[in-house]
Chain A
Amino acid sequence: MPLRLGDLKRLLERYGFVIEPGTKHWKVRAPDGRMYTIPAHNGLRTEMSRVYLRGLCRNLDIDESKLDD
């Protein structure tokens, strides 16, 4: 089942990433400063597609299986 923004935020914070809320996109920042965007066009209810989540994992060196927790 696709993750919603609110669930993704909680997961990423658990793994040490910092979330910076915005409007159309939020930011997620890794401890080394690297930033990636999170779509937020429907606020906390925004559903994340698998294609997006794979891109997020590639960019921030996250094991994809961690997002299935």
Chain B
Amino acid sequence: MAEKILGRDFYLCWAIIRPAEDVHGLWTAHCLDFDVVSQGESVKQAIEMVLDATSMVVMDDHLRKANPKERVAPAEFWDDLRRIQEEGQRIDDLDAFLARRAVLNVNEAVILAVPFAILLNHMEPVVPVSKATRLPSFATDQIAC
């Protein structure tokens, strides 16, 4: 079920962003709540892509009267998220973090955990709330997930 915040229905989600091991220069983005994976050629693009993909999947499930929560990612990925949250550096301004580290590349092996929200708009079934990436995120290069 979606959560209710200020009278609106939201899905609150976490995505893990990390470099792709097998495609140089590519970042993967995995929304754990709905087990949706996308990718991009920068951290920013990977986040935008996973927002887009997750919105499409949730909207499609709602239109088919299916429960998107049944897609949840396997437990091992949630263990990764917990490790990043516990051992990673908290980021209050993700945009500023990315701007400072504009040269982020696969060699830095940074892993990001990014929260976002999907607003359920009952006129247009699902609208992504991209501003939600301003919630505290976490980054780490200290652990091997």
Q: Which residues of B contact A41 (CB under 8 A)?
A: 39-41, 45, 49
Instruction: Among B23, B56, B64, point to the contact of A49 (Cβ < 8 A).
Output: B23
> Which residues from 29 to 62 on chain A have a C-beta closer than 8 Å to any C-beta of chain B?
33-37, 39, 41, 47-52, 54-56, 58-59
Contact B23 A59 (CB under 8 A): no
A-binding residues in B (CB < 8 A): 18, 20-23, 26, 28, 30, 35-41, 45, 49, 52-53, 56-57, 60-61, 64, 66, 71, 74
Contact B49 A24 (CB under 8 A): yes
A54 closest partner in B (C-beta):
B37
| 19 residue pairs bridging A and B, Cβ less than 8 Å apart | A25-B53, A25-B56, A27-B56, A33-B66, A35-B61, A37-B52, A37-B53, A37-B56, A39-B38, A41-B39, A41-B41, A41-B45, A41-B49, A50-B20, A50-B21, A51-B30, A52-B39, A56-B37, A58-B35
Q: Which residues of A contact B60 (CB under 8 A)?
A: 27, 35
